[in-house]
Amino acid sequence: MTPPPLAVVVDLDDTLYPQAEYLAGAAVAVGAAATAAGLDGERVHAALVRELAAGSDAGGTIDRALLAAGVPAGDLPALVPPLVAAFTRHEPARLVPYPGVPAALEALAAAAPLACLTDGNPVIQAAKLAATGLEPLLAVVLVTDTLGGRAARKPSPGGLLALADALGVPADRLLVIGDRPGKDVAVAAAVGARAIRIRQGEYADAPDEPRAEAVTGSFPEAAALALVLLAEVVVPARSAAAPSMG
């Protein structure tokens, strides 16, 4: 039987709060910056919302939005940097976590060391986390990009290994909770750790590849299952056959 996990690592985007909420605010900020640059800000905003809906993960989103909004390709080199900066600098005042997340995180934090492993621009990820109000519940937060840019993002195992070190537990005794099989479940598998997938957010329909130990529909459900796994007692295989002393 697999030994019980000793610490829990949670993802941020689409695990603790709906990332669409953040993206909507950032798109508004880019629209305003486009207006300030003399463009049709509403048109740029609308095009960016469409690009983000098609997938928020790829680079070049603002370039594609500007082209879709009718901006000549030759104007992009001058326009893109300030608009990317407007996106990056966007600091949401408040990002409302998914229902039940604060209480579920509190319960996890009381049961085991709790950390957060997230991909993305470190400035942006810090602003998001601050806006959720959840940071005090997370003993350690690691943004993979600080370890080596995009190449260090999940499922690259470096971030999870660094967290295991920081928490003082073997990496294969971590339990990862996250929404993306290709990142959160895969990074757990890469170090021999267990994972619970939450089917919500932008990747809710992604196939279970690789397969998680369990798939749940919400963070509180995943946390409840994590608490059960953390409380598992390892019974030595022979103890059932031990002679009774009664």
Say how far apart CA 116 and CA 139 lie, in whole Å.
Answer: 8
**DSSP states of 110-125 as a string?**
HHS-EEEEE-S-HHHH
Decide whether 13 or 145 has the Cβ nearer to Mg ion. Answer: 13
Min CB(60)–Mg ion separation in Å: 21
Nearer to Mg ion, 18 or 31 (CB): 18
**Chain contacts with Mg ion (rule: CB under 5 A):** 11, 13-15, 179
Distance in Å, CB of 225 to Mg ion, minimum: 18
State the DSSP string of 113-179: -EEEEE-S-HHHHHHHHHHHT-GGG-SEEEEGGGGTGGGGSTTSTHHHHHHHHHHTS-GGGEEEEES
What residues does 17 pair with on adjacent strands?
13
| Run of H or E residues at 216 | strand 214-216
Backbone angles phi, psi at 83, to 5 degrees: -75, -35
Which residue, 11 or 63, is less far from Mg ion as judged by CB? 11
Active site residue 11: yes
CB of 246 to Mg ion, least distance (A): 52
Please state the closest distance from residue 129 (CB atom) to Mg ion, in A. 13
Query: From CA 142, how far away is CA 114, in angstroms rounded?
Result: 12
Q: Which member of 11, 63, 145, 184 is catalytic?
A: 11
CA 158-163-169 angle, 5° bins: 115
- Closer Cβ to Mg ion, 15 or 132, answer by number: 15
Which amino acid would we find at residue 9? V
Question: Could you list the active site residues?
Answer: 11
